[in-house]
Structure 1
């Protein structure tokens, strides 16, 4: 600022205006890109000179961040990566009394939910001095977690076997029975009897919970003729891992006990004490470890 009270200072955007003393810039605040201004110094009616002043406007940083980031609460911390291309970084957590500095590196590790700010800066050298030009962006750290598997309800031995997965947790979850194709609905219908793995995946990447399950069923017939196809009758979904101590009894049409099938065996081959049993309908009774009792019938074909 020029302080000589005898000298007047006027600023112009064009040198011709400065020479003619017309169209001076009167607003003390000027919003503009880089340009050259012209300063006219006058004493009375005498022009003391016109000087060109280069006004350099350096770009302000414009950091871009997501509005929200995820803290997997069962992991304890989240790594937040700052945007590329800035000279300095400052991370702040907003508190009731102001802001708390959380870090000065490009990336920061956070372990508390809440609202945060990232201030990025460009550093310019002006007249031998470093000048920092900064800007801030806000974001929120919100919770999610890997699912806690509460229960898997299976309705099997039916024409429409279903499986329903019940979970709890802080996340939003999707469900799968093969680990490849996921769905938002935790209910799976029209399942063939057999073994499955139930997968529950957090949509925000906090992890996958899984459990092996069995949907039980039985073949409607078998043909024990030694051709390697349908030679044994056995419940599907039984194994040494699932219902290992289940009782499976076979009965004839009159209710007489025929034989018992052990879970670890391949199944019944249509014989009893090396005697071939006739082609007919047979009944079975299953007593499962979980307390269920299932009855049904099948056909032995020859």
Structure 2
């Protein structure tokens, strides 16, 4: 058994307000109640909400405060994300991975902004995996990324055994997103921590799924802390023997007989997609 304890934090996220002090307060309470927790994951844009009026620079004071908290409690801390003004002048939705020494070891920029709604947010291009020594490898994606299975497939192909997935979903598609998260866990035989916010930060219903697609816990629509101990050996055993000793999708994909020409932008096989029109905001239909 390779146990590891992760807590997701589902909390109120106001718009256009510095929420870092509230995050630090929740973190202090969490660690006082559950001192055995080794990693904490906040929801997407937990630090500032969904309105990108005041993007920050990274590194910066907001990140520094969270680094200090990770060091204080001796935990791995995934900050959810924050709107970042990059050195190139572009706006990004960026999550930081902080180790127990308070060091930022990775920053991940969301690859698939929720366009056309997040039309001002630029897409990141680099995948994020990191190792927890003597435990396993973790992958990070943000919200809409999970709708594109290529993102998770790449992380898993890089060795990720746990998918950390902060989200900000306050819309009617939360049921669909949870179905995708559950299918992702089973399809890629990994744990999925799908952590949503509240108020401007979402409608809650954070959930955790195991590598067989079983829902270990689904929160309601209130402030909740979700501390769970997982077993990385369960991931390894199911990947080796199959989900419930049945399908072995990772090895089947590895040993495939076909290459997918749809990923070649010049193949022409995706010609249908080019007839769908531009990626723009839907407009009111005329009467």
Please, what TM-score do these two structures have when normalized by structure 1?
0.18
Q: Greater strand share, 1 or 2?
A: 1
Please identify the structure whose Cα radius of gyration is greater.
1
Higher helix fraction (1 or 2): 2
